Amino acid sequence: MRLTFNHHPCHHQRLSYRHQHDVLSNIKFQSRYSSQAFNSQSDLQESDQNQRLPHPNSGRSATMTRSSNVTFETISDLYKSKTPITMLTAHDFQSARLLAMSSYTSSQKSNQNQTSKRSLPNGVDFCLCGDSLAMVSLGYTSTNELSLEEFTYHLKAVRRGLDSVLQPPPIQTNENPYHYRMPLLVADLPFGTFEGQNPDRGLRTALRLVSEARIDAVKIEGGLEQIPLIKILKQYGIPVIGHLGLQPQRIAGQGGMKVQGSKEIESARNIIKTAIELESSGVVGIVLEAIPEKLSIEIQKKLSIFTIGIGAGPSVDGQVLVTSDLLGSLDSIKPRFIMDHPSNGYHVSNLNPRWDLELQIIHEYINQTRSKRFPNPNGQHSYKMNSSVFNQLQSEGWT
């Protein structure tokens, strides 16, 4: 998932349980599901493991980190409390570890936060391994060139990166244990691995990703044609996040990398209608990419599930960005919806200045999103809708 409008670059300690599934021609798939996504208590209960381990930098013992897990009940609580949800992408071990590290807090700081009137969660809620890695990390010209084998290889590295925060933080200045929130790991279903009238193909793909990379949910681009697959994945206990608006896997049919639903009434009407149908089919949330803010507002009014926007304005329930766009590590033109951050506004003080800088930028993204300062309410990061299209939506009763 990526948008530039000039080219398209868009366990912690956990329990597992096994399911056997008979799919086409008596083929058996054994899948080990992460309990994180389904355990409503895991975000509320810290790991009781608090061991003394050798610290890699200090040459002495250090307190083991304590963990809490983001679950879909956590997401539901954020949604109900109108606390913006945060999502960023990771394509390898290092980027995933960076996202996981963004939630580190000392126990002393954690206790201080609990005494405040309303503390906002640290870290990202979702780590998305999307097929944007095809262009961002592998140099392909399209996300559609990414094979399932390549994607699985990267996805497993992302899982290892998230799990790596079991180790003590690289720099620890006191004896207070460190706490972290493990984000939910969401994976795209790559192009060509789930399409077709028979949903069994998509089921096999999802089961493989759950089994080999221990993902917590899948994200699927598409519309009404994906409803049979969404329903069968729900039956197998795999949460599904929909993806509407600009869909990089279908840019040829959408007329290129452009805002959707802004100038054509049929497009705007179809996005609203499809969002309603996807919720009815069982998706837990929907990503809205490159649609006008007015349209995202109308979609939100009709849904009781969370919406996460990328170029969809500040009124959605959460935000997602491609991490390399946020960090400015690509030589492409910065998309309109990327958060601004001052080049000289950060203070690098440790032995890994690049890591420190990137972590501060991610912290700033989380803080600005949680506090509803990003996207900017004045429309700086949003797209406008043709007034005649919006008026027609109103006359048809879609608003």
**In this predicted structure, what is the pLDDT of residue 87?**
98
For position 267, what pLDDT does the model report? 93
Task: Quickly count: other Cβ atoms within 10 Å of residue 390's Cβ.
Answer: 21
Q: Which of residues 17 and 352 earns the better pLDDT score?
A: 352
Query: Is the separation of the CB atoms in 58 and 174 below 8 Å?
Result: no
Mean pLDDT across the stretch 268-281?
97
User: What's the length of the chain?
Assistant: 399
Measure the CA–CA gap between 324 and 189, rounded to whole angstroms.
21
Per-residue pLDDT, 179: 75
| Mean pLDDT across the chain | 80
Model pTM score: 0.80
Most distant CA pair in the chain: distance in Å? 70
Cα separation, 206 vs 201, whole angstroms: 9
Q: In whole angstroms, give the CA distance from residue 308 to residue 289.
A: 8
What is the pLDDT, as a whole number, of residue 258?
78
What is the residue whose two structure tokens read 């939630």? Answer: 103
User: How far is the C-alpha of 95 from the C-alpha of 124, rounded, in Å?
Assistant: 13
pLDDT digits (tens, 9 = 90+) for 180-217: 889 999 999 999 999 888 899 999 999 999 999 999 99
Give the pLDDT band of residue 250 (cuts 50, 70, 90). Answer: low
Distance separating alpha carbons of residues 398 and 393, to the nearest angstrom: 5
Query: Cα-flanking dihedrals φ and ψ of residue 311, to 5°?
Result: 75, 30
pLDDT value of position 20: 34
Is residue 289 part of the annotated active site? The answer reads yes
Q: Note the pLDDT of residue 63.
A: 45
CA distance 240 to 216: 9
Question: With bands split at pLDDT 50, 70 and 90, how would you rate the model's confidence at 378?
Answer: confident
Position with higher pLDDT, 368 vs 45: 368
Of these ranges, 19-23, 168-172, 284-288, 324-328, the one predicted with the greatest mean pLDDT is 284-288
Residue 337 is predicted with a pLDDT of 77
CB 46 within 8 A of CB 334: no
Mean pLDDT of 117-141: 89
Q: Mark 361-374 as b/e (b = at least 16 C-beta within 10 Å).
A: bbebbbebbbeeeb
Q: Is the pLDDT at 262 greater than 80, yes or no? A: yes
Which pLDDT does position 207 carry in this prediction?
A: 98
The average pLDDT across 380-392 equals 91
Give residues with Cβ within 8 angstroms of 142, minimum separation 6.
8, 134, 135
Picking from 27, 12, 50, 364, the residue whose alpha carbon sits closest to that of residue 216 is 12
What are 27-63's pLDDT values in tens digits? 333 333 344 665 544 443 333 333 333 333 333 334 4
DSSP H or E segment with residue 18: strand 16-23
- What lies within 8 Å, CB to CB, of 81 at 6+ separation is none
- The structural domains of the chain, ordered by start, are 16-395 (3.20.20.60)
Beta bridge partners of 346: none
pLDDT at 344: 56
Nearest partner of 210 among 39, 34, 397, 399, judged by Cα: 34
Active-site residue, selected from the candidate residues 46, 145, 289, 298 = 289
What pLDDT shows up at residue 345? 61
